């Protein structure tokens, strides 16, 4: 899983911007976490297909979709960018407020975030980032497990907290509550369960 950096000082986005471009990190409350090496091909196939569907659906729509590496700064208040101590790189992020977007990425919570789980990122995504996204007001958070073909959906409730998650199979369609009219068509990514992914062979036969 992503490991905390050996640095013990409270780190900020200003310092983060000085680090080598060939290293990928996230900051959460001033703590640096080294991100896993390059994602697997299966991970990337899901990211590409999800992004294709989302981008097509959002044509002529104010919402925009972005994929990692894309910095999402999450300030605690109105502090200057250089003083922000939390910056993450979601696999897929959709932002509907254009005022949050600038050349650096996004400042403020996206409306919808998708993280594709892997053994190296599962704890980070399911515990640290789930709590972080809830605290900063992400309206909808999807955790997609590509091997088990299971999707966990968290939605922000009226009290500003995630409610009990929905857990669904990657079958049929799944609506995105945070963005009216948007839904993901899972049959369109059934090819990801092809024979070149051995772990998917059984689930591919079940889905046929």
Q: Is the pLDDT of residue 162 over 80?
A: yes
Specify whether the CB–CB gap between 116 and 53 falls below 8 A.
Answer: no
Tokens representing residue 25 in the block: 């990190």
Domain ranges of the chain: 39-207
Pairing of β 112-116 and β 140-145 = parallel
* Close Cβ partners of 60 (under 8 Å, ≥ 6 residues apart): none
What are 59-96's pLDDT values in tens digits?
A: 989 999 999 999 999 999 999 999 999 999 999 999 99
| 166-190 pLDDT tens trace | 999 999 999 999 999 999 999 766 5
For residue 82, count other CB atoms closer than 10 A to its CB: 11
Q: Is the pLDDT of residue 196 over 70?
A: no
Q: What's the fold here for domain 39-207?
A: tt1808, chain A (3.90.1570)
State the alpha helices, DSSP H only, in the chain.
Answer: 13-16, 41-57, 122-123, 129-136, 201-207
């Amino acid at each position: 899983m992503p490991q905390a950096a050996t640095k013990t000082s409270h780190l900020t986005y200003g310092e983060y911007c000085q680090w080598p471009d060939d290293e990928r990190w996230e900051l959460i409350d001033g703590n640096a976490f080294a991100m896993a090496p390059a994602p697997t091909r299966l991970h990337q196939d899901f990211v590409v297909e999800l992004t294709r569907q989302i981008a097509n659906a959002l044509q002529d729509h104010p919402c925009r979709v972005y994929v990692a590496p894309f910095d999402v700064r999450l300030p605690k208040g109105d502090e200057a960018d250089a003083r922000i101590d939390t910056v993450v790189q979601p696999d897929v992020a959709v932002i509907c407020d254009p005022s949050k977007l600038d050349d650096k990425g996004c400042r403020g919570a996206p409306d919808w975030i998708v993280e594709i789980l892997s053994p190296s990122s599962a704890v980070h995504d399911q515990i640290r980032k789930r709590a972080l996204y809830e605290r900063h007001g992400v309206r909808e958070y999807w955790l997609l497990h590509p091997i088990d073909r299971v999707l966990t959906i968290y939605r922000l409730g009226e009290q500003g907290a995630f409610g009990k998650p929905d857990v669904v199979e990657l079958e049929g369609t799944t609506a995105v509550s945070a963005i009216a009219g948007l839904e993901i068509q899972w049959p369109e990514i059934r090819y990801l369960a092809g024979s070149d992914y051995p772990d998917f062979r059984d689930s591919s036969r079940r889905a046929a």
